[in-house]
Amino acid sequence: MKQFFKEFKAFINRGNVMDMAVGIIIGGAFTSIVSSLVDDIINPFLGIFGGMNFDQFAWNITGDVTLNYGKFITAVIHFLIMALVVFLIVKALNRATAKFVPAEDKKEEAPTSRLCPMCKTEIAIDACRCPHCTSILDAAAMHELEAELRENASL
């Protein structure tokens, strides 16, 4: 249990939690703006074509039981507008940070393999002899290797 609280304390103390809290507060305020946009501007405009606001669409199932599917349509419109705005904000932030962050120098990795000139199979870059066709690839390196092998054998 102590480990759990220790991990939780470390999580709370990270900077990301504060950023998330600020994002939630601003998101809540932004939600009211989007709700007003949908309820006060978009729905009346769409009501011109449909004859009424989506909020007023309902199906009276029995007596007091009503299925308010118009409110669901309004909630879907809220979600789509919110998702579009968040997408545009994230896209703009990514573009802005890409301009300010210097491009990392891409280091080319040294090749670790090469092709055998005789059989065209991939072999290690420092190989003296091809393991597939046994052709000598680098005569000087082969002589050094043979000398090293003779020296090790005499020890």
Per-residue pLDDT of 106-134, as tens digits, reads 556 777 888 887 788 888 877 878 887 88
- The CB density around residue 43, as the number of other CB atoms within 10 Å, is 20
In angstroms, the CA 52 to CA 60 distance is 17
Give me the amino acid identity at 86.
V
* Residue written as token pair 């890409």: 98
Whether residue 98 has pLDDT greater than 70: yes
CB of 41 closer than 8 Å to CB of 29: no
**Mean pLDDT confidence for 91-101:** 81
